Structure 1
Amino acid sequence: MADSGGGVVEQHALSATTLQALADGYGGAEAVAELWRGQESRRLLLFKLAHDHLADTTDRRTALKAVFEAEDREPELVRAILVDPMVALWAAGIVRRAPRETVPLADIVRLNEIAVAAAMWAESDVETRGWSRNGWVSIPTIGRLPVSEQSGPVRLVVTKGLLSVDGLDRDLDDPGWQHARTVTVGDDTDVQLEDIDPCRDTFHIRAAERLSDSDFDVWRRALDAAWQILTQYCPERVLELSAGLHALVPFPEPENRTAHSATARDAIGVIGLDLPKDPAELAVTLIHEFQHSKLSSVLDVLDLYRPSDRLFFAPWRTDARPISGLLQGVYAFIAVADTWARLSAVPERFPRAQREFAESRAQVSEALDTLAGSDLLTSAGERFLTGMRGAVNRLNSIQLPTVAEAAAERLLADRRAAWQIANPAAS
């Protein structure tokens, strides 16, 4: 299948060995890299479908011509743009909306801005229009510039890689730029900290506005502290994160200090979150959400369950969950329990870890049994369940004080009772 340019969008499948490794809760860097190759093809296909959904206008033809010309000059650089997380979110949004509703002009024009980014990276040419959003024009993977118009079209010209906006040259050293930013964690893992791209608002919580330099530094130091914890106590998780974590989207600090996090379904490897005060909690949050990315990547190429209207009790939620949500929760909380188990071995450094481990282990054990009894898993899903059960059995073999186990069981019973009252039809 042809991609947006001269390459090929491959068909992907998972080997039985890779599926088994992933079901066991980990998978390793090689398995994550295999999942990412599938995601790259998916994103290229999404980009093709997105521009095919747009009307055949002069703008569209100009943008595609510029992308193809840039791709001829710098294929790897342009491919990196087309599989960028924010470009993937744009493409998925177009594909989901275009057949059924009118797509805002600002979103249509995003294709032109992608072409501008390609021309800038490849040092080629294009003349087109971008769109001012609240006084900013945004160029994917590069950053955004202030413009005079608060909302409306903006003339963009790239000549041999140099950009002018409404007739004014805007060199990348221009102080008006707000550049896309990355955080380097560990030895050499770069993670985008996405706080300007207009496509980042894909979660149930609105993304934070541009971070100040001081706030950016707070995030950088917090991520470094969490990464150090994972490197010391969960090195296998760090290898996976290094292979597949691409971007973090900051959320505003919640008023009630209840932590929020989410995974971008249309851009695997993108996590939205507010910043926990505790680096251990941040470490666990990264692991939790990355598990969702891994499982979602598996589900893109393999059916693990049959769709159903039935709803189930998930101990970590107050609402009734479909089979898809139950499976995602079990997979994520196996990793949560495993991470707290490792940290609980150092109680003087992580005093809450033992309690958190006991609670998450009790929750995931019950939810796994619910999943097994659902009769909704495919044959591949049953194999995946067997792998997850092995991981849970290992967690259950870890000795905990009787008082910690009893407290966790009481909390689980209380949550089950409250859930049954709130969801009588599902129970």
Structure 2
Amino acid sequence: MRHPEPSDGVLRALGSTEPSAEGTALVCGIRRTRRLELLREVRETAAPGGEAAEHWALLDEAERHDPAATADVVQYPATGVWAEETLRRLRTPYGPPADVGHLGALAAAAALRAGIGFKATLRPAGGRLLLPTLGLLRPPRPGPLALTERSWDPGDPAALPLHALPDGRTALDDLDPYRASATVPAARRLTPKGHKRWDTQWSGALTLLRRYDAARAEETGRLLRSVVPLSGSSRSAGGTLPAAAGSVLARAQPPPALAAVLVHEVQHGKLAALSGAFPLHTADRAARYWAPWRDDPRPLEGLLRGAYAHLALAGYWQRAALYGARGAWAQHARIRAWVAVVLPVLVGCGELTAGGRVFVDAMAAAERAMDGLPPPGGRYAVARAGVERDRVLWCAQHPNLAAFTVG
């Protein structure tokens, strides 16, 4: 199944980074289609018959009874990480075995949420059974566990429910074994104190988003299904995994910083979905471009994704500054200066597709529109001068790549 090519109007709306009903619908549709394709590939690649066939049948039955509840389990971000990893292992003759048994947990979670009668025998790992979107079961005895429609009770001491953040639409996922990849240091199960801290910071971040940019707050609610806490050892403030569409990884941090992370990472998720379905350029992965927000050279894809997320962030800080947020003008000037110096490289790129050209031109138009409300006191000019000094220094350090920056 392939989505029809988006219209230039939808591409322009997405390229501007401004939320739109059409853009959100396209992103959600792409994510849904990709997830269903991935599950179908797992189904076709895994050995037929046995327990797997029973699990698929239960998932199909749950979908017939409650399509919305089943879709939430299937579309849950961690399900995508499991599906991609399982498919990769099924196609690799050597290496760790694929966790096909997790399909039973998906099916059982869908059946529980659909409210249908069922029986399923599953094998907990390490004495725990994860039911996606619901939480963990801790059986009193080792060995296979027989599940029925009465097996899940959030109030049972043997259950650890998935923590819901205060908005009611987003989960704080510190349980699912597939909530992050092996290279991402996700935090372990938080304490009640840790959950309370996240509730406070999340509520504060949403309050700021709604105050400064109500449309982005609504977009965040529609596109973000889960937040995965990063471990304390992580140096990153936030991140996204393309396989975990609809999820953001983030450190616990004060509300102003968390709100900015959400703006930034939601854009990464939007562009990952769009470019995965509709290539915006034909460039290779060679790291040759200067990105002011990083020290290392970036491929064109990395430059585009970084510029896109920072463009949204510059707009957010501009709105926050107009509300009088402390330090917002400085943030806006610095980040806009980064984007402004990169956009000519993107606009002048000969490897953009037709859709990519529309998208990047819309980015450039959105950046130019910021001239209507400039920071006071010449702050933007000062920021541009600082970025230019950084560019000259970087080119001196990377003379073979100097031609890929703006001169």
1:178 and 2:160 correspond: yes
1:146, 1:296 → 2: CA distance?
A: 36
Identity of aligned residues (%): 28
Deviations 1:332-361 (A, max 9, x none): 1111111111122244xx322111111101
Report if aligned partners of 2:224, 2:247 keep a CA contact under 8 Å in 1: yes
| Of 314-323 and 53-62, the range deviating more from structure 2 | 53-62
1:130 is matched with which residue: 109, 123, 129? 123
1:157 and 2:146 correspond: yes
1:190-229 alignment to 2 at 5 Å?
190-202=169-181, 204-229=183-208
The equivalent residue for 1:139 is 131
TM-score, with normalisation over the residues of structure 2? 0.90
1:13-52 alignment to 2 at 5 Å?
13-52=5-44
2:77 is matched with which residue: 75, 80, 85? 85
Report if aligned partners of 2:166, 2:202 keep a CA contact under 8 Å in 1: no
1:306 is matched with which residue: 272, 275, 282? 282
The equivalent residue for 1:377 is 352
CA displacement at 1:59 relative to structure 2 = 2.0
The equivalent residue for 2:273 is 297
The equivalent residue for 2:405 is none
CA displacement at 1:82 relative to structure 2 = 1.4
The equivalent residue for 1:121 is 113
1:244 is matched with which residue: 223, 246, 267? 223
Over aligned residues, Cα RMSD in angstroms?
Answer: 2.3
Report if aligned partners of 1:125, 1:157 keep a CA contact under 8 Å in 2: no
Residues 85 and 102 of structure 1: CA distance in aligned 2, closer, same or farther (over 3 Å): farther
The equivalent residue for 1:420 is 395
Residues 394 and 244 of structure 1: CA distance in aligned 2, closer, same or farther (over 3 Å): same
- What SS does structure 2 have at the residue aligned with 1:383? helix
Structure 1: gaps of 5 or more residues: 2-9, 164-169
The equivalent residue for 2:261 is 285
The equivalent residue for 1:53 is 45
Residues 142 and 102 of structure 1: CA distance in aligned 2, closer, same or farther (over 3 Å): farther
Report if aligned partners of 1:333, 1:364 keep a CA contact under 8 Å in 2: yes
CA displacement at 1:260 relative to structure 2 = 2.1
Report if aligned partners of 2:81, 2:180 keep a CA contact under 8 Å in 1: no
1:284, 1:410 → 2: CA distance?
A: 24
Deviations 1:74-99 (A, max 9, x none): 33322221112111221122223421
Residues 219 and 309 of structure 1: CA distance in aligned 2, closer, same or farther (over 3 Å): closer
2:3, 2:374 → 1: CA distance?
A: 45
Residues 173 and 405 of structure 1: CA distance in aligned 2, closer, same or farther (over 3 Å): closer
Report if aligned partners of 1:25, 1:331 keep a CA contact under 8 Å in 2: yes
Deviations 1:166-213 (A, max 9, x none): xxxx6443212111122133xxx5111111000012274311111111
2:319 is matched with which residue: 342, 361, 366? 342
1:144, 1:103 → 2: CA distance?
A: 27
1:375, 1:203 → 2: CA distance?
A: 36
CA displacement at 1:400 relative to structure 2 = 2.6
Q: Relative contact order (alpha carbons < 8 A, sep ≥ 6): 1 or 2 greater?
A: 2
| Of 371-380 and 97-106, the range deviating more from structure 2 | 97-106
1:17, 1:405 → 2: CA distance?
A: 30
1:82, 1:346 → 2: CA distance?
A: 40
Report if aligned partners of 1:18, 1:27 keep a CA contact under 8 Å in 2: no
One-letter code aligned to 1:33 = A
Deviations 1:368-396 (A, max 9, x none): 11112232211111111111111010123
Give the number of the structure whose residues are more often strand, by fraction. 1
Deviations 1:267-298 (A, max 9, x none): 22210010222x22211110111111111121
TM-score, with normalisation over the residues of structure 1? 0.86
Report if aligned partners of 1:248, 1:273 keep a CA contact under 8 Å in 2: yes
Report if aligned partners of 1:250, 1:272 keep a CA contact under 8 Å in 2: yes
2:393, 2:195 → 1: CA distance?
A: 40
- The total of aligned residue pairs comes to 400
Residues 239 and 75 of structure 1: CA distance in aligned 2, closer, same or farther (over 3 Å): closer
